[in-house]
């Protein structure tokens, strides 16, 4: 092959690759898969959505892999949880992405926590001696479908602002999603009425919104302080509390190590209920399916069966 | 031999200029990219296209606005613009702000101290932040500052306080809004040659710096005042092309180049030019590979138009099973190789340096790591051993093996116990070392690159 032809071939290949990604009207990248699922629910066929983290992954500690910067490079909208949840990995990706559309303050950057009714906002001064306390409030609000709905509304407004041509479609999708989610929520609440007021032990402070919604009481956390792994004396205290209060279950996310939780659960005794940290968006799961799956696990937990 | 190497320099210059060339081609392709039916971003109620007269009106209006604002502007450029009410002095510190959006400046201190013991009277530690003597060592106190300056720039700085003074390790601006996937850094910065060069002790797997970096670039690693352009290629996988031009002087930062001498810069070839290509391959969700190719060229002070070239490659393999429940394992493998050739009067010296390391986090707070390093003696054109003008004692190969265990109480503190065996062929016996290092990070510290 002559050098000029080779050059032409290379240029053609680059142009082809550059043009290759399917052209949806808006390319949205979200940090967490729950946000991706909500965006897909209201965006429908007009948006192409990608989540940076997996549902099986601890959202506090995501690797800033360069291919994630590549996704951000091509994004029209970046949606993050905020409240410093992604502070350890997102900023470096945002700068590395060379896309001014998605930088802080731009219309292409949306912080979902502004739409949620936040819990555990510290009222006194916090420092790191208290562990990983999020100074803006607890960021794990997507376990509560009521908060998720508020976030979906916020996402819809932003999609409509960025893509006014499809604004009506987005609002129609939101209406459908609202009806579906509210209907499902009624069912879930009925199924879990027995959980109301029940004592529960959790691993990390991820249960604030879940307990606010379902009415159970988190009596203790296996982590002595947020982000600090369990130690023997603390675990002994939690176990004693769990026995005394007759804890109904131990809740933890699948991304935490489970040896201690298993031990505590078996000693109380109470079932260990493993929660998926988020919607398995990659496998096509929807937000409603994810919460439904979680409700099933809690239901089983109430019946004394772990998962 | 000068003529022979000149061709190589041509190639190097081409490599380091390639980002600009590529940028040109990207620009040329840009208008072709959106197919006719695709851009549906415009609202249906979009106003019809502006007439040339209207555009002219806008331009005129903007022009008069600009001149009006200049009348209000301060007469000199030395004074900052007047602060907006409530907009100044809001340097939010961690723990004091109540969250969203008030962080204007990230400030953090990183303290690295170590207790060390060496069997050698004069240990061969070559890094400026390495423990070097028996007893207690202050490796560094680093103040790192990061902030967005305005919509167009961000600022990053690393000031390092040692026992005998302060140095500006890095202070540079990064562009935020350049088109065509370009990004420019300007100021004083660590060049992105290889993998470890651009990083700070805080993100290392070992207490000390690989001796290859200290031998080739200097104790502080390769850095200088200069400018860097990087380009993210519009390809399906991550390809970043980086070219930088930096000051070639500095005993601790560019010792294979001009080093401690201070020669007048007469042409761009009197600066250090660096070209790097980095590629990333997500082999699976759990396994990823980063691969880099680097080259640096610059003058050296041994004679008229004598040059030094360094070629390097680096790999970083990371296994973290994020798809497996309850698994916090992390295994990394990292290796770099450096080939250096230097023109000296009557000869061309070449040598080879490398290190390879593996780290295994076997529990959320514990990790262990092993590293092997090798550096060969300099050889002349005919393969004969020659006296290395920079390291005259380095007449044989040197290898070093280090092993350590680290414990992180939280992500803000770290304890590390490291043992090493340093076998330098020119010394009678191997030297052994033991170090216990403590690191504390306080304040708001920026996120790290992969």
Q: Which residue in chain A is spatially nearest to B288 when comparing CA positions?
A: A65
pLDDT band at A6 (very low <50, low <70, confident <90, very high): low
| pLDDT score for A3 | 59
Judged by CB atoms closer than 8 Å, whether chains meet at B32 and A15 is answered as yes
Predicted confidence (pLDDT) per residue in B70-129, tens digit: 444 444 544 444 333 333 333 333 333 334 445 578 899 999 999 999 999 999 999 999
pLDDT of residue B49: 61
Q: Do A14 and B177 touch (CB under 8 A)?
A: no
A307 pLDDT band, cuts 50/70/90, is confident
B289 in A contact zone (CB under 8 Å): no
* B202 has a chain A CB within 8 A of its CB: no
How many angstroms separate the Cα of A165 from the Cα of each of A41, A46, A270, B44?
Answer: 18, 10, 53, 5
Tell me the ipTM for this assembly.
0.86
Q: What is the pLDDT of residue B14?
A: 41
Q: How far does Cα B320 stand from its chain's mean position?
A: 24
The answer to whether the Cβ–Cβ distance between A164 and B411 falls below 8 Å is no
Q: Do A92 and B447 touch (CB under 8 A)?
A: yes
pLDDT in tens, A274-285: 999 899 999 999
Cβ distance of B449 and A96 shorter than 8 Å = yes
**Minimum CA–CA partner of A46 in chain B:** B40
Are A83 and A142 in contact, with CB atoms under 8 Å apart? no
pLDDT, residue B325, reads 85
Residues of B in contact with A60 (CB under 8 A): none
* CB contact (8 A) between residue B29 and residue A14: yes
Distance CA B361, CA B332 (A): 9
A90-124 confidence digits (pLDDT tens):
999 999 999 999 998 899 999 999 999 999 998 88
CB contacts of B177 in chain A (<8 Å) are 100
Q: Do B322 and A256 touch (CB under 8 A)?
A: no
Beta carbons of A258 and B33 less than 8 Å apart: no
Please report residues of A whose CB lies closer than 8 A to that of B447.
64, 87-93
Residue A14: per-residue pLDDT: 58
Residue of B nearest to A166 (CA): B43
Distance CA B199, CA B191 (A): 10
Question: pLDDT at position B88, please?
Answer: 32
Residues of B in contact with A104 (CB under 8 A): 101, 148
Are the Cβ atoms of A255 and B410 closer than 8 angstroms? Answer: no
Mean pLDDT of A200-205: 94
pLDDT for residue B106: 87
Least CA distance to A106: which residue of chain B?
Answer: B151
pLDDT computed for residue B48 by the predictor: 53
The residue of chain B with its CA nearest to that of A23 is B38
How many angstroms away from the CA of B377 is the closest CA of chain A? Answer: 37
Closest-CA distance, B47 to chain A, in angstroms, reads 13
- The string of pLDDT tens digits covering residues A230-268 is 999 999 999 999 999 999 999 999 999 999 999 999 999
Smallest Cα distance from A20 to chain B, Å: 9
Joined together, the tokens standing for residue B135 give: 């007893």
User: What's the confidence (pLDDT) of residue B263?
Assistant: 78
CA A39 centroid distance within chain: 12
- pLDDT for the residue numbered A197: 94
Of A11, A132, A164, the CB nearest to B25: A11
Q: Which of B97, B278, B282 sits opposite A135 (nearest CB)?
A: B97
Q: Taking CB atoms and an 8 Å cut-off, how many pairs form between chains A and B? A: 153
A-facing residues of B in 371-390 (CB < 8 A) are none
Chain A residues in contact with B280 by the CB 8 A cut-off are 65-67
pLDDT for position B288 = 96
- Nearest residue of chain A to residue B321 (CA atoms): A57
> Which residue in A12, A98, A137 has the most chain B C-beta atoms within 10 A of its own C-beta, making it the best mutation to test that interface?
A98
* Nearest-CB residue to A67 (from B97, B280, B324): B280
Residue with the larger pLDDT of the pair B250 and A132: B250
Of B177, B320, B324, the CB nearest to A63: B320
pLDDT score for A23 = 62
Nearest to A14 among B38, B234, B322 (CB): B234
Q: Which residues on A lie below 8 Å from B442 (Cβ)?
A: 128
Helix (H) or strand (E) holding A17: helix A3-19
Nearest by CB: A91 against B101, B365, B447: B447
CA distance B264 to chain A (A): 35
pLDDT in tens, A34-79: 999 999 999 999 999 999 999 999 999 999 999 999 999 999 999 9
**Secondary structure, 3-state, chain B:** CHHHHHHHHHHHHHHHHHHHHHHHHHHHHHHHCCCCCCCCCCCCCCCCCCCHHHHHHHHHHHHHHHHHHHHHCCCCCCCCCCCCCCCCCCCCCCCCCCCCCCCCCEEEEEEEEEEEEECCCCCCCCCCCCCCCCEEEEEEEEEEEEEEEECCEEEEEEEEEECCEEEEEEEEEEECCCCCCEEEEEEEEECCCCCCCCCCHHHCCCCCCCHHHHHHCCCCCCEEEEEEEEEECCCCCEEEEEEEEECCECCCCCCCCCECCCCCCCCHHHCEEEEEEEEEEECCCCEEEEEEEEEEEEECCCCCCCEEEEEEEEEEEEECCCCCCCCCCEEEEEEEEEEEEEEECCEEEEEEEEEEEEEEEEECCEEEEEEEEEECCCECCCCCECCCCCCCCCCCCEEEEEEEEEEEEECCEEEEEEEEEEEECCCCCCEEEEEEEEEEEEECCCCCCC
Torsion sign over Cα A56, A62, A68, A73: positive
Query: DSSP assignment, residue A204?
Result: S
Closest-CA residue of chain A to B281:
A67
Residues of chain B predicted below pLDDT 50: 1-47, 70-75, 77-101
């Amino acid at each position: 092959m002559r050098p000029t032809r080779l050059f032409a071939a290379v240029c053609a290949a680059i142009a082809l690759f550059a043009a290759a990604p399917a052209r949806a009207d808006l390319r949205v990248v979200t940090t967490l898969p729950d946000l991706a699922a909500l965006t897909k629910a209201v965006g429908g066929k007009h948006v192409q959505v990608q989540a940076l983290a997996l549902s099986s992954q601890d959202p506090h500690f995501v690797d800033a892999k360069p291919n994630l910067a590549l996704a951000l490079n091509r994004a029209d909208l970046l949606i993050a949880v905020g409240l410093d949840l992604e502070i350890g990995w997102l900023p470096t990706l945002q700068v590395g992405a060379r896309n001014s559309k998605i930088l802080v303050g731009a219309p292409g950057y949306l912080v979902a926590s502004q739409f949620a009714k936040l819990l555990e906002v510290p009222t006194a001064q916090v420092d790191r001696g208290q562990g990983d306390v999020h100074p803006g409030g607890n960021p794990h609000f997507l376990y509560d479908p009521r908060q998720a709905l508020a976030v979906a509304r916020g996402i819809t407004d932003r999609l409509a602002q960025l893509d006014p041509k499809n604004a009506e479609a987005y609002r129609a999708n939101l209406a459908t999603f609202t009806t579906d989610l509210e209907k499902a929520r009624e069912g879930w609440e009925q199924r879990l009425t027995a959980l109301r007021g029940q004592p529960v032990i959790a691993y990390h402070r991820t249960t604030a919104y879940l307990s606010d919604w379902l009415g159970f009481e988190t009596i203790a956390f296996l982590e002595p302080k947020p982000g600090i792994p369990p130690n023997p004396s603390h675990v002994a205290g939690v176990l004693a509390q769990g026995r005394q209060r007759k804890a109904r279950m131990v809740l933890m996310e699948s991304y935490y190590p489970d040896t201690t939780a298993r031990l505590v659960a078996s000693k109380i005794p109470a079932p260990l209920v493993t929660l998926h940290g988020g919607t398995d968006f990659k496998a096509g799961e929807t937000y409603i399916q994810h919460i439904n799956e979680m409700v099933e696990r809690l239901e089983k937990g109430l019946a004394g069966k772990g998962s | 031999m000068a003529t022979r190497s000149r061709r190589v320099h041509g190639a190097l210059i081409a490599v380091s200029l390639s980002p600009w060339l590529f940028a040109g081609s990207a620009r040329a392709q840009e208008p072709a990219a959106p197919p006719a039916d695709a851009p549906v971003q415009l609202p249906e109620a979009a106003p019809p296209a502006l007439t040339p007269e209207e555009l002219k009106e806008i331009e005129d209006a903007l022009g008069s606005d600009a001149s009006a604002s200049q009348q209000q502007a301060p007469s000199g450029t030395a004074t900052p613009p007047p602060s907006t009410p409530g907009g100044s002095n809001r340097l939010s510190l961690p723990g004091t702000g109540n969250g969203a959006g008030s962080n204007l400046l990230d400030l953090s201190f990183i303290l690295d101290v170590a207790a060390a013991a060496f069997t050698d009277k004069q240990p061969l530690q070559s890094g400026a932040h390495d423990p070097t003597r028996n007893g207690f060592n202050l490796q560094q106190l680093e103040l790192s500052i990061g902030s967005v300056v305005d919509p167009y720039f961000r600022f990053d700085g690393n000031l390092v306080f040692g026992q005998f003074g302060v140095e500006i390790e890095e202070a540079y601006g990064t562009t935020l809004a350049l088109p065509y996937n370009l990004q420019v850094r300007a100021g004083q910065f660590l060049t992105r040659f290889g993998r470890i060069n651009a990083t700070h002790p805080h993100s290392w797997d070992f207490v000390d710096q690989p001796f290859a970096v200290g031998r080739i670039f200097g104790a502080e690693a390769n850095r200088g005042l200069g400018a860097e352009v990087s380009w993210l290629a519009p390809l399906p996988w991550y390809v970043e092309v980086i070219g930088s031009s930096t000051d070639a002087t500095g005993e601790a930062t560019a010792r294979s180049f001009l080093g401690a001498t201070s020669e007048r810069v007469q042409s761009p070839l009197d600066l250090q030019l660096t070209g790097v290509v980095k590629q990333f391959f997500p082999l699976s969700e759990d396994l990823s590979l980063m691969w880099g190719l680097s080259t640096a060229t610059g003058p050296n002070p041994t004679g008229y138009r004598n040059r030094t070239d360094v070629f390097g490659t680096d790999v970083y393999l990371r296994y973290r099973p994020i798809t497996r429940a309850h698994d916090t394992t992390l295994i990394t493998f990292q290796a770099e190789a450096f080939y250096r050739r230097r023109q000296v009067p009557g000869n061309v010296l070449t040598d080879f340096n490398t290190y390879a390391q593996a780290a295994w986090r076997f529990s959320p707070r514990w990790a262990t790591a092993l590293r092997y390093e090798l550096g060969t003696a300099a050889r002349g054109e005919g393969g004969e051993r020659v006296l290395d003008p920079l390291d005259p004692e380095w007449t044989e190969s040197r290898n070093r093996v280090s092993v350590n265990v680290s414990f992180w109480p939280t992500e803000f503190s770290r304890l590390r116990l490291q043992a090493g065996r340093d076998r330098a062929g020119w010394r009678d016996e191997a030297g052994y070392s033991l170090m216990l290092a403590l690191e504390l990070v306080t304040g708001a510290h920026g996120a790290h690159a992969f």
